[in-house]
A and B are shown apart, each in its own frame.
Chain A
Amino acid sequence: MSALPPRFASWFAARGWDLHPHQAEMLARTDEAALLLIAPTGGGKTLAGFLPTLVELAEGGHAGLHTLYVSPLKALAADIWRNLGTPIAEMGLPIRVEDRTGDTSYTQKRRQRADPPHILLTTPESLALLTSYEDAPRIFAGLSRVIVDEIHALAESKRGDQLMLALSRLQALAPGLRRVGLSATVEDPGAIARSLARAPDPCAVLLAEPGPDPDISMLVTPERPPWAGGGGRYAIPAVLEAVRRHRTTLIFHNTRAQAELFFHALWLQNSDNLPIGIHHGSLSREQRAAVEQAMVAGDLRAIVCTGSLDLGIDWGDVDLVIQVGAPKNVKRLIQRIGRANHRYNAPSKALLVPANRFEVVECVAALEAARAHELDGDPKGPGPRDVLCQHILIRACAGPFDADALLAEVRSVGAYAGLSRAAFDDCLDFVATGGYALRAYDRWQRLRQRPDGMWELRDPRAARTIRMNIGTIQDTDLVKVRLRGGAALGEIEEDFAATLSPGDTFLIGGQIVRFDALREMTIEVTRSASKTPKIATFMGTKFATSTQLSARILAMFREGDWSGLPAHTAEWLDLQARVSRLPEAGGILVESFPHDGRQHTCIYGFAGRNAQQTLGLLVSKRMEAAGLQPLGFVATDYATLLWGLRQVDDPAPLLTPQELREGLETWLAGNAVMKRTFRAAATIAGLITRNTAGQRKSGRQATFSSDILYDTLTKYDPDHLMLRITREEARRGLVDFGRIEDMLARTEGRIDHVVLDRPSPLAAPLLLEMGRVPIAGEGRERLAAEAAAALMQAAGLDAG
């Protein structure tokens, strides 16, 4: 183990610090080409990553960029910049550190390219942009180390794929580059290590001591949780009491809308005026910054938040984490809990608040999994080709390239190691010509091949638009919300904004505001004294319960051991076992019962929300074909409830694997999920440009919906690369047919059909569930026609 240089040793000693063993090991093994450090939050992970850089730069003499630090959050880069400043200043190290994100000024960015700092802190998108410049070889010439922070979070998304492609480029420019990954606890460190290293090279994994087990329990309240809904508002008195007993509490929610509603309700009952803030991705940057500052300064006792606070920024002295709603995923729960007690060796403390009766079961299952150190996660598929298309465009911006050399670079990325020449050529052809079956036009040329075989942009001016569209984060179209003549409050989805009429009220940033007008993509609002807002339905991610967690719940049902459950939930399950039966892993429980004048059928697939939603669409199609006249359905993580005019006597024919698969093929094509998936893939791949200089101003009629492109391709070029990518992504993403296949495999055709004269205890909550989907088709047209006729009649006009 290499000793700490004297200057560092005395600095550590002056602070009364000892090197953690993993920090020392990172220093000792700094020559390795790739190293992954897995350490819990608060384990001095960042310092472990930077220490070798600081030591190497301490003697001076390195010109230009030495270390690149990449994190998923801009805020994290700024945070690290502050944290590095202390040791550098106190030890008088000759090291220049700068950050570079979307917020960095134009002049600063220009200067950084001309004269890069020793350490540059950035994000995957800003890095991709840097590699697109012609002078990238000069900028990165001396690059020696790259540190990827929160690599577990990046690895879950296309941002990680884009980053690893960028690293393959950097490796070509700086062959001696060493890679370091910093990760929270994950279920499969080997997979992350493989994604970090240059394929097929190995990557060592260093495991820091995990620290003590978290102190985690379920909040039990005198009030019973409601049957359905995701608010958790019944628990507010108990939550306030917990906040009172701790210094700082983070209160996590699964969606932004839930966070808003909870925060609003919390304030109405906050009789002690405890200082509590709210933080989520829809709020304006200023508002989030204000909350973050107050948090660091210790001025807040609690923050109601969503995943926007998930990543490892040091917000100060959090000693309690509350998760409202089922965690859906044990790994995310553990990582969130890691936010409490940021000091190594002190146990994190967390409370789970189930929002409804079924979530009690899910929370208990998650607690068991956490205690057993059993994390969940799905293996990642091969590298996405839409990201590869964007990478090719970025490469073309930097100058002419050789296709063989680029393919070799791309294959050095773990996720793309198995990329075939044909698949690469498909992407190159798409980028160069659009990749259409119709080949009549020589004007369809974005790239062209020079006589010497190198590829280049046909029009170098196109680089500007390509650079403006770098990135893989899909934001839905958002409109700004602004107080009339005042401050920006945040953003809401355009679809939600379109449903608002003047006078409507909704919640944002914990305030109720009234919609006044929509002007040039900004919503003007005024504060409203109203107490009951129209719900802000701006989304935030809706997670599906993980496969592993669902399996645990089914195992709990099989064992029939309710000892971990509160009495009300145990009674509920007992009643279910008596009047119907409990769902099992080896069969699909289907219940049929009349309710409210409609025939209901409930299918307990335990396949997660997305797959249950898909199942609802497929089964309702089959019901329509069978003349069962379905009217609608609703899906949760564990079941799909369908209703219609006729009773289902035999559900087996509705659930045969072969026909579900066929239904998927035909249904998928016209589906909104497909169109959304297409839009994402086509945007990343560069078919649709989100940002063109001055485009927004030219008026909306100049732009047209990506749905039209989807429909046109489906009709005239069904085998186009973008449609192939769309089908693959939808199957494993929002459609999640993979989990329907898992369900079919696990149950092997066994269907347990129970006919009841009323809703069963497990089915009852679904009757109250939000998010009902009407069966589309002629029925929808008829509804629209009726609405039109009613409006015409009300206006005294002839409906014609």
Chain B
Amino acid sequence: MNGHDFTLAGVRLTALPSGALWIDQARALCVADLHLGKSDRMARRGGALLPPYETFATLDRLAEDIAATAPEQVICLGDSFDDLIAGVELAEEARLRLMGLQAGRRWIWIEGNHDPGPVDIGGSHLAELALAGLTFRHIAIPNAAAEVSGHYHPKAHLPGAGWRPAFLADAQRVILPAYGTYTGGLRSDAAVLRALMQPPGQAILTGRRALARPL
């Protein structure tokens, strides 16, 4: 899978090149910040008319990861929908695609700041989830331990690769890169991320293969 293996609180994790996290012992696939319906929300608010394909692009990539890993559960770490209306008004085709992906497995929607409530789409809606000794939530809490979160859309730099969306991991937590197609990145040296991550830590860049570097 070209992934990068590491451990958090004794749990073996794999950072996939796509930006998804594989938790082998729970056979769980975890993705953060899908921001489905982002172009829809911008158009609705009178902003730019972005190409309305990002929901399909995101689901296409998620479908590939699911096909490759055959997870028993999928955890979406919040901001799965760009807002709650986007969740409600998701195109019928996208809704059907999602239902297809959910078939035969447990599906958990963690709430995020963009989607702070249940959406009328299958799966369980939770504020946070405890699984395999890890806590899954949208926004990292300082001093928390064994925590898997998203929200910040981190990106990191490598000579030759430039800035790419990246996992940030230290002994206490891992912060996932944004999985959604229309998402930007926050540099790993931003103050808020430096305050959260304690050395020694690593950044795992996404791309054709997962590339780890020290933070």
Contact = CB atoms under 8 A, between A and B. Distances in A.
A509 interface: no
B72 interface: no
B160 to A, nearest CB: 4
B57 A800 contact: no
A797 B200 contact: yes
Nearest to A799: B212
Contacts of A2: none
B147 interface: no
B181 A712 contact: yes
B185 A441 contact: no
A716 B51 contact: yes
Contacts of B183: 701, 704
Task: Give the bracket for the number of chain B residues in contact with chain A.
Answer: 35 or more
A699 B191 CA distance: 12
B80 interface: no
Contact of B44 (A443, A688, A784): A443
Interface in A685-713: 686-689, 692, 699-705, 708-709, 712-713
B187 interface: yes
B1 interface: no
Interface residues of A, number: 50
A557 to B, nearest CB: 40
Given A461-B46, A712-B51, A701 B186 contact: yes
Contacts of B182: 704, 708-709, 712
A700 B192 CA distance: 12
A395 to B, nearest CB: 17
Nearest to B153: A701
Contacts of A441: 40, 43, 52, 91
A700 B214 contact: no
A459 B202 CA distance: 46
Nearest to A778: B208
A713 B53 CA distance: 8
Interface in B186-209: 186-187, 190, 200, 202, 205, 207-209
Interface string A425-460: 000000001101010110111100000000000110
Given A434-B49, A784-B161, A788-B213, A704 B200 contact: no
Contacts of B4: 800
A791 B52 contact: no
Contacts, number: 124
Interface in A717-743: 717, 720
Contacts of A446: 46, 49
Contacts of A14: none
A705 B185 CA distance: 9
B214 A792 contact: yes
Interface string A459-487: 10110010000000000000000000000
B206 to A, nearest CB: 12
A405 interface: no
B185 A783 contact: no
B26 interface: no
Contacts of A625: none
Interface string A291-327: 0000000000000000000000000000000000000
A715 interface: yes
A438 B53 contact: yes
A441 B94 CA distance: 13
B184 A800 contact: no
B107 interface: no
Interface string B162-191: 010000000000000010011111110010
A787 B56 contact: no
B50 interface: yes
B144 interface: no
Contacts of B158: 784, 787-788
Interface string A753-788: 000000000000000000000000000110111011
B46 A459 contact: yes
B50 A784 contact: no
A434 B50 CA distance: 7
Nearest to B41: A443
Interface string B56-67: 110000000000
A13 interface: no
B22 interface: no
B51 A791 contact: no
A712 B211 CA distance: 24
A1 interface: no
Given A701-B153, A701-B186, A704-B182, A797 B214 contact: yes
A781 B207 contact: yes
Nearest to A434: B49
A775 to B, nearest CB: 13
Nearest to A462: B46
A795 interface: yes
Nearest to A689: B48
A715 B212 CA distance: 29
Contacts of B5: 800
A716 B56 contact: yes
Contact of A700 (B159, B187, B209): B187
B81 interface: no
B83 interface: no
Contact of A781 (B50, B54, B185, B208): B208
B136 interface: no
Given A434-B52, A788-B212, A791-B214, A708 B181 contact: yes
Given A704-B182, A797-B214, A688 B48 contact: yes
Contacts of B200: 795, 797
Contact of B43 (A443, A713, A788, A794): A443
Interface string B15-55: 00000000000000000000000001001101111111110
B57 A712 contact: yes
Given A443-B43, A498-B163, A797-B214, A436 B207 contact: no
Choose among A700, A705, A784 the residue with the greatest number of B CB atoms under 10 Å from its CB: A784
B109 interface: no
Contact of A715 (B49, B57, B91, B190): B57
A717 B211 contact: no
Contacts of A703: 184
B181 A686 contact: no
B48 A687 contact: yes
A521 to B, nearest CB: 12
Contacts of A699: 186
B6 A800 contact: yes
B179 to A, nearest CB: 13
Nearest to A446: B49
Contacts of A445: 43
B51 A709 contact: yes
A462 B44 CA distance: 12
Interface string B110-145: 000000000000000000000000000000000000
Contacts of A785: 209, 211
A501 to B, nearest CB: 11
B53 A797 contact: no
A704 B40 contact: no
Contacts of A438: 52-53
A792 B213 contact: yes
A686 B160 CA distance: 32
B186 A788 contact: no
29 contacts: A434-B49, A436-B51, A436-B53, A445-B43, A459-B46, A687-B50, A689-B48, A699-B186, A700-B186, A701-B153, A701-B178, A701-B186, A702-B184, A712-B57, A713-B53, A715-B57, A716-B51, A717-B53, A780-B161, A781-B209, A783-B160, A784-B159, A784-B160, A784-B211, A787-B160, A792-B202, A797-B202, A800-B4, A800-B6
Interface of B: 4-6, 40, 43-44, 46-54, 56-57, 91, 152-153, 157-161, 163, 178, 181-187, 190, 200, 202, 205, 207-209, 211-214
* Among all A-B residue pairs, the 8 with the closest Cβ atoms: A434-B49, A704-B184, A716-B53, A701-B153, A795-B214, A784-B160, A459-B46, A784-B161
Given A459-B46, A708-B181, A784-B211, 5 more contacts: A704-B185, A708-B182, A716-B53, A781-B209, A795-B200
